[in-house]
Chains A and B, each alone.
Chain A
């Protein structure tokens, strides 16, 4: 089992969600996130005073998938989230030791 985590531009959320649904992913978790990568932050101006805001709003998408699907899911996410401009985000995959469905107690692939 793998956990695929993606930090993406918020406006790409709908595209990514529908691409994952089409691929066959049944569930995912979305949360708001703030951060920066190479693009750094942005500047805001209030009555002429400039404020540098380091943290840029992002969404974090987390999907639990079978080992075999992990690469495909990553590709689906990257394809659907890409704009080609700076700040598109990152996707990473980490191994997961155990998954349990809370309602039934099922474990592993059954629980996905």
Chain B
């Protein structure tokens, strides 16, 4: 009998995770200035368009095809165009459900990077980057981390999942460290926004940021609990740990702000949500709920402090992809080595330091995290530089000052001029008659 409950949960989770990307668009969009909000959102929607296509064509095959050497790469031709995956064994989760669930991970990972280069990237170059990056960074790394050996079926997977046996339940390395390291590399390639850090560029719409963070949290239950690939106890534990860590991270971030700045802010609460979600992602199957509270609280406080690093080191990671995703991802991935407990249903590695007194698993976690970080940073830097030197990655100074919404997309987010005097064509925005009305 087909596992209808599991199938329903995985398909639902896939849809939940897809919603994270529009949620991210709101989260990021609210944080930029009003003249670039649409471009910010378009980078997320562009990723949904392009990466969805590439995933079907060859992305899934590179990530989950049979290994072609050293656990580094899946066979790109095995599932080209998802061939052979439209049918499935009667008693197993349908292949297509897994393909869909993993597709939305690829999409959000690419979209996450865009936060580092807000306000100054050419949209076409971003799309070019997104396609190349997904192909040579995300798809292989997903293979390293998510492709498990299956001896019965003769499947050989990736090196982190199998040879190293580092634990990453839902993507702390493949998604967050990967996107965070890539964001740092791109921020360095593109350089600082005009006026940064003297002009601090405050968020233009914090309610959008809060709404986006809320949608991210909602979708993230699919991300983490869906990674159980079944409607079962493992999913439920991942769910509750996702709640615990994220709630604690809000508290950690706000408390840090209150002590450091004197105010607990809404941007801090929204950022705490994301920091907690990032940190619990790799660990949600192997921690106890109390362990999750500790992890979340630490991650919230640490990420609140980490977002200040860019001012100290002088790189303009516009929306703190490094401070939240790279740092949060590292904390979560490495915390497994300290806090993993064999009472949790996803526990299958070596013993952790606190619950077994061994540094064995901790070492594996560090190796996995550093490997993904280094690979992603170096390759992204090269891709970014190649694009910058050929077609150009950054918009002109004039376009940047005017805002990339108008200059790149010929749109503006808010019709402020039109609200005075009631006419859309008054003031700054002069309307031209569409061609067909003139005839």
A45–B257 CA distance with the chains assembled, in angstroms:
9
Check: A47 CB closer than 8 A to any chain B CB: yes
Partner of B260, one of A44, A48, A51: A48
A47 touches B267 (CB 8 A): yes
Q: What is the CB-to-nearest-CB distance from B308 to chain A, in angstroms, rounded to a whole number?
A: 5
B200 touches A48 (CB 8 A): no
**Given A51-B200, A51-B202, A45:B263 Cβ within 8 A:** yes
B257 touches A46 (CB 8 A): no
Check: A98 CB closer than 8 A to any chain B CB: no
Q: What is the CB-to-nearest-CB distance from A44 to chain B, in angstroms, rounded to a whole number?
A: 7
Question: A52 — nearest CB in chain B belongs to which residue?
Answer: B200
Q: Which of A36-75 touch B at CB < 8 Å?
A: 44-51
Q: What is the CB-to-nearest-CB distance from A54 to chain B, in angstroms, rounded to a whole number?
A: 13
B405 neighbours in A (Cβ, 8 Å):
none
Partner of A49, one of B200, B262, B263, B271: B200
The proximity string for B residues 296-330 relative to A, scoring 1 for CB distances below 8 Å and 0 otherwise, is 00000000100110010000000010000000000
A48–B258 CA distance with the chains assembled, in angstroms:
10
Q: What is the CB-to-nearest-CB distance from B116 to chain A, in angstroms, rounded to a whole number?
A: 14
Check: B268 CB closer than 8 A to any chain A CB: yes
B200 touches A47 (CB 8 A): no
Q: What is the CB-to-nearest-CB distance from B113 to chain A, in angstroms, rounded to a whole number?
A: 19
Partner of A45, one of B265, B271, B320: B265
Check: B261 CB closer than 8 A to any chain A CB: yes
A109–B271 CA distance with the chains assembled, in angstroms:
60
A48 touches B202 (CB 8 A): no
A46 touches B202 (CB 8 A): yes
B308 touches A48 (CB 8 A): yes
| 6 closest A-B pairs by CB | A45-B261, A47-B307, A51-B200, A48-B308, A46-B202, A51-B202
Other than A47-B267, A48-B261, A48-B308, give 4 A-B pairs with Cβ distance below 8 A: A46-B202, A47-B304, A48-B307, A50-B261
Q: What are 30 A-B residue pairs whose CB atoms fall within 8 Å in the complex?
A: A44-B202, A45-B257, A45-B261, A45-B262, A45-B263, A45-B265, A46-B200, A46-B202, A46-B265, A46-B267, A47-B265, A47-B267, A47-B268, A47-B271, A47-B304, A47-B307, A47-B308, A47-B320, A48-B257, A48-B260, A48-B261, A48-B304, A48-B307, A48-B308, A49-B308, A49-B311, A50-B200, A50-B261, A51-B200, A51-B202
